[in-house]
Structure 1
Amino acid sequence: MKSYLASLRRSSDVSWIKACRLPPAAIPLGSLSLPALYEFKAPYDRLVKAITSALIAGLLALIAGFSYLALSEREIAGFIALAIVIVITIPTLIIPYLYSPRAFGITVKGILVRRPLKSFLIPYEDIISVRRVSWTWKGIRLFASGGLYGYFGLFQISGLGRAWMYVTNRDKMLLIETKRGVKYIISPSDPQLFMEKLKSMGVTVEGL
């Protein structure tokens, strides 16, 4: 059991912990209330739904299994093991959600990436261009979530280099390139309309 718990602890020490941080060129909103002129949801595609549902079900089943063993054996070791499993699995489910993209907004100052915690702004003055991009599996996660509540954090992507992704739907991706060299990929519910609204704000949009 000790070896199993150790492996569970290692598997839960995933890179989404570092993915929760803000991108280096982003402006944190903090307590600042910045209403969006236009807001677009961040819907899950089928793969994100499947990964998220499977992980949630699997981790809850793990807790249920250890609970059954602890109550059946009624030994202190079983209850300690259950406590360790709960301490590891519950944050694994909750913390990534708090930092996952829930919506994308167009404000008077920039593009808003809305998250339950630590929403941030990509200022217009820093944006070079915005364009559609296609999903590729030719890349690696550096500090990122790879499907649980979406793909968000820092990725190394073939042909693009390093990019901060905030994607919940792989068919709706937009690449934002900035003067500081930081790249973002987001997935608003209607990327075409999103680009049109950005263009009306004076942002350079390719493909329109």
Structure 2
Amino acid sequence: DLDTANAIRMAVLELDDVKKAIAKLNEIIAKADEAAAGAEQLSSGAYQVSSGMDKLYRGIKELDEGMALLSDNGEQLKTGTKQLYRGLDTLTDGLRQVSSEGMAKIVEETDEIQLSLSKKDALLALSESYTAFSSNAENINGTVQFLITTEAIVEPLPIEMPSPSPEDTTGTDNGTDADAQVENKSFFQAIGEWFANAFAAIRGLFD
């Protein structure tokens, strides 16, 4: 009948309203979930910001300590730099002195040695070509030797020459020939030792 039909129609309408309400409720729940997820992300981001701020604070503190240490050591660095420059100046002066004095002396001595060698070579060549004071006989090759006289070069020897004592030459009243031979032998041994020491000393001068 008509009342039943109206009741069914009203029930269907109410059912649609319930479906719409459920759909809206689901939307609200979904938005609530999204809000919760956003809040969680926000909380995580806030934690990261807090952790980053803590690291930034520690970095600023370390930077401040480093600047203080640099300020404390700055004077020492300045002093060390000045000492380094002074050392370089001293080294430069020493190298300049070696170059102007030492190297010049070496060059001078080298030039003198070269001049002496040149003179020696010239004298040798001249002596080889000079074969006689006068003309040689035909087919005879002669040689000439030159003697150069210079002043004596006296080098005092570090030992004294032994001299015989009166007893070595005159003997004693009670001496025998055997005693004289022993004394003479001792005297000549002393002379031999003197010559040996003299030659050793001369060799030492040239070593």
Q: Would you say same fold, with TM above 0.5?
A: no
Give the TM-score normalised by structure 1: 0.16
Greater strand percent: which structure?
1
User: Larger RCO: Structure 1 or Structure 2 (Cα < 8 Å, ≥ 6 residues apart)?
Assistant: 1
Which has the larger Rg?
A: 2
Give the TM-score normalised by structure 2: 0.17
